[in-house]
Structure 1
Amino acid sequence: MSFSGEEGMKIEKLKNINWDIIDDELNWILPRTFKEKDVKEETVVLDDKQVTELMPRPSKKLEAGSSAELTRILDKRHPFETDFIMGPHDISVFDHYSKWICDGLLAKHEQRNEKEEHYKKNKSTVPISMDLGIQLITKKNWFYLLSFNGQMWNDEHIDVIFYYLRKKGKYDGKSTYKHTTVACIFKIWIGETFDKYVATNGDTSVAKEEDVICEYLRGYKLIANVPWHTVDNVLIPVNVKDIHHWVLAVVSFRDRCIRVYDSYRLAGYDTIVKIEIDKMAKILPQYLSISDFYRKREGIDWSQEPAYNDKALLDSFDVVCVDNLPQQRHGSKDCGVYVVAYAEYLSWGAGIPIEDFDVNLLRTRYGALLWNYGMRKQEDEAISHNEAPPKLVRPNIHSDICEKIIIN
């Protein structure tokens, strides 16, 4: 699909935006007169992933000199604001969602895999694209994978829920558990730096200040991100590809360790998981040091903390595998559900219960809450608060004259 003239220039500008730090909240500049019929979709490849962009067609109602009504802000920060994972739940929302998710299913939908369509053609799309912050949902199949047993959650599902848990941590002043989260790709960046570290026989200089990991630590790059020196814990989803398994890694700064929450504890699996987490335990101290984390962090006297005694700041973090956790059923594909549930329990400052999770309830709950949140934004013609991180300013070291470059 190609465009020319003024419309083409607008699209070229959009392609030059760093979409990793742009959220749906930037839509506040669009007037309410842009309806679904005024919108067309185009998929553009940016940074090796596909991003669905909404291209507003010029509205006839918006002529030179005319005024436009701005879209209102949704009153809820995140879907979990009034529905706690430990209950009580609004069953009426679950019921409405269950009817919607089951409408139009193929007769043998349960025999299809994650990549195949599970709905009849006229029921497979979401009539109005559903805005979930960092993902624009156009296919009903996305919710199917969330809610039906035997379906593996992918990084899109994990990222959306961790995005809202990040917002929860940012604005929930009542919780004693101060946390933030990262996106699934964070683990890949850690792995790339670790590979360089190994290839150079342990040269710590492979971790550089301009690396994207440092941007994460300083509160940039991610929607609703906060600087790591303002929290006590960072919740990191980790996909262990060798065993097709999700685990939760929690970086605890006060205890100087990485706690691993794993829903499938077996001797062989534990070894593979620990190899993956050890990469993070080795590399993170390098980035914490070069990003001035220890100097900026307030409220902790590092010289007096027991976990830091007799250890250099660049030493690896300890890795602790948490015991006595609810475990998934053998052969199930519920590891992503468990990772998200572990993270949400922790985010409320509550301990994780020993009793087994009701996976059917959790799958329905996450699907229903996200669906209901997206529907409310549509019905109220509302958007979320602006969560774009601040612009990153760096000196231009390639010029004889030092000037500031703002990276969008």
Structure 2
Amino acid sequence: MQEFFEWIQKELLKSHHIDVISYYLRKKSKRRSMDQYIYTTVNCLFKSYINIVYNRYYCSPADDTLSTHDHISRGVTASVYERSIKDIINGFSIPTDLPWHLVDAVYIPVNCDRDFHWVLVVVVLKKRLIRVYDSSMGSRKKVHSCEIKQLSIILPNYLHDSGFFDKTKRTDWAALDAYKDKETGELLGPQHSFEVEFAQDIMQQQSDSLDCRMYVAAYAEFLSDEINIPSTHFRSDYLRKRYATMLWKYGVDKTKAGYVSDNDDPTRSKNDYTSPAEDGLINVE
């Protein structure tokens, strides 16, 4: 309750709030039948996994001075996050629920250069495209394009490694023109980056506003309902209260049900252990 009122006063949405709203959107998506799945979401940590893996394999020249031990240590760390990325793509991870081969798009909240600005990245799988929804276009576009570039380079690698193209029950991905080499007609290799475009004519935040996370949530909700994002300003105060109320209700329901995480798993009671009677013990020599 206290966090709810603090957010109303400070007008800031935090990254874990975005995760809860993403959770809400995932639940809404799963109400459809399999052939009608449109999207899934990931949490705010997904881009962090991408960053770690990118830095491991596309390191700067300065990293050449690292010792062998440090390189091995980085490799071990990166392998953990590589597995997490593939688990998310395959739907084995709680923050995803739906595997990517069953949807048309994936919504990814991205923090840009740690400057407190967030954008919504939508991976349009059928078009092999990354579309960026930014509430503060202009000078920022060049600044955070490197964050988007990392995604465009890394994603093809893990789509291949995760067996994404072998799962053709809903969509034959390799047969889509977007994934074919224009000269050979063969499936594009992982060395080919995703195309990137920035969404135009979408609602923008005020220059002195810190509402970027709220815009990320609003963009995702518009898209999840298949509604065009308006280009005019909207009532941010209304959305702020709406999301705050939803987060507060989520927290109340979660507390009442005894949940400890966003995966609907209730807390587990401790196992009661009773020592057996002495005559029930077997002595093994």
User: Unaligned 5+ residue runs, structure 1?
Assistant: 1-125, 127-139, 389-408
1:354 maps onto 2:235 in alignment? no
Instruction: Please report how far the alpha carbon of residue 154 of structure 1 lies from its aligned counterpart in structure 2 after TM superposition.
Output: 1.9
1:271 maps onto 2:161 in alignment? no
SS at structure 1 position matched to 2:144: helix
Q: Which residue does the alignment assign to 2:282?
A: none
Q: How has the CA–CA distance of structure 1 residues 289 and 159 changed in structure 2, closer, same or farther, with 3 Å as cutoff?
A: same
Structure 2 matches for 1:9-408, cutoff 5 A?
A: 126=1, 140=2, 142-148=3-9, 151-173=11-33, 178-199=38-59, 211-223=83-95, 225-266=97-138, 268-310=139-181, 312-314=188-190, 315-375=192-252, 381-382=256-257, 387=264
Instruction: Please report how far the alpha carbon of residue 224 of structure 1 lies from its aligned counterpart in structure 2 after TM superposition.
Output: 5.9
Instruction: Please report how far the alpha carbon of residue 167 of structure 1 lies from its aligned counterpart in structure 2 after TM superposition.
Output: 1.6
Matched-pair contact (CA < 8 Å) for 1:175–1:348: no
Corresponding letter in the other structure for 1:240:
C
Matched-pair contact (CA < 8 Å) for 1:186–1:213: yes
Instruction: Please report how far the alpha carbon of residue 347 of structure 1 lies from its aligned counterpart in structure 2 after TM superposition.
Output: 1.0
Instruction: Please report how far the alpha carbon of residue 313 of structure 1 lies from its aligned counterpart in structure 2 after TM superposition.
Output: 3.3
Corresponding letter in the other structure for 2:235:
D
Instruction: Please report how far the alpha carbon of residue 342 of structure 1 lies from its aligned counterpart in structure 2 after TM superposition.
Output: 0.2
Corresponding letter in the other structure for 1:157:
H
Q: How has the CA–CA distance of structure 1 residues 322 and 184 changed in structure 2, closer, same or farther, with 3 Å as cutoff?
A: same
Name the CA distance, whole Å, in 2 between partners of 1:354 and 1:154.
Answer: 24
Corresponding letter in the other structure for 2:8:
S
Corresponding letter in the other structure for 1:155:
S
Matched-pair contact (CA < 8 Å) for 2:119–2:135: yes
Name the CA distance, whole Å, in 1 between partners of 2:101 and 2:167.
Answer: 6
Instruction: Please report how far the alpha carbon of residue 222 of structure 1 lies from its aligned counterpart in structure 2 after TM superposition.
Output: 1.8
Instruction: Please report how far the alpha carbon of residue 370 of structure 1 lies from its aligned counterpart in structure 2 after TM superposition.
Output: 2.6
Q: Which has the higher helix share?
A: 2
Q: How has the CA–CA distance of structure 1 residues 174 and 370 changed in structure 2, closer, same or farther, with 3 Å as cutoff?
A: farther
Q: How has the CA–CA distance of structure 1 residues 242 and 224 changed in structure 2, closer, same or farther, with 3 Å as cutoff?
A: closer
Matched-pair contact (CA < 8 Å) for 1:230–1:297: no
Name the CA distance, whole Å, in 2 between partners of 1:298 and 1:155.
Answer: 34
SS at structure 2 position matched to 1:211: helix
Name the CA distance, whole Å, in 1 between partners of 2:229 and 2:170.
Answer: 27
Instruction: Please report how far the alpha carbon of residue 353 of structure 1 lies from its aligned counterpart in structure 2 after TM superposition.
Output: 1.9
SS at structure 2 position matched to 1:361: helix
RMSD: 2.7
Matched-pair contact (CA < 8 Å) for 1:177–1:348: no
Matched-pair contact (CA < 8 Å) for 2:88–2:96: no
Matched-pair contact (CA < 8 Å) for 2:88–2:95: no
Matched-pair contact (CA < 8 Å) for 2:165–2:174: no
Name the CA distance, whole Å, in 2 between partners of 1:178 and 1:360.
Answer: 29
Q: How has the CA–CA distance of structure 1 residues 214 and 365 changed in structure 2, closer, same or farther, with 3 Å as cutoff?
A: same
Name the CA distance, whole Å, in 2 between partners of 1:281 and 1:237.
Answer: 15
Structure 2 length-normalised TM: 0.75
Matched-pair contact (CA < 8 Å) for 1:208–1:290: no
Name the CA distance, whole Å, in 1 between partners of 2:59 and 2:263.
Answer: 41
Question: CA deviation digits over 1:80-108, x for unaligned, max 9?
Answer: xxxxxxxxxxxxxxxxxxxxxxxxxxxxx
Identity %: 39
Corresponding letter in the other structure for 2:56:
K
Corresponding letter in the other structure for 2:55:
D
Structure 1 length-normalised TM: 0.54
Name the CA distance, whole Å, in 1 between partners of 2:241 and 2:39.
Answer: 26
SS at structure 2 position matched to 1:319: strand
SS at structure 2 position matched to 1:144: helix
Q: Which residue does the alignment assign to 2:66?
A: none
Instruction: Please report how far the alpha carbon of residue 373 of structure 1 lies from its aligned counterpart in structure 2 after TM superposition.
Output: 4.3
Instruction: Please report how far the alpha carbon of residue 176 of structure 1 lies from its aligned counterpart in structure 2 after TM superposition.
Output: 5.0
Instruction: Please report how far the alpha carbon of residue 145 of structure 1 lies from its aligned counterpart in structure 2 after TM superposition.
Output: 4.7
Q: How has the CA–CA distance of structure 1 residues 352 and 174 changed in structure 2, closer, same or farther, with 3 Å as cutoff?
A: farther
Q: Which has the higher strand share?
A: 1
Matched-pair contact (CA < 8 Å) for 1:143–1:367: yes
Q: How has the CA–CA distance of structure 1 residues 265 and 199 changed in structure 2, closer, same or farther, with 3 Å as cutoff?
A: same
Name the CA distance, whole Å, in 2 between partners of 1:255 and 1:276.
Answer: 20
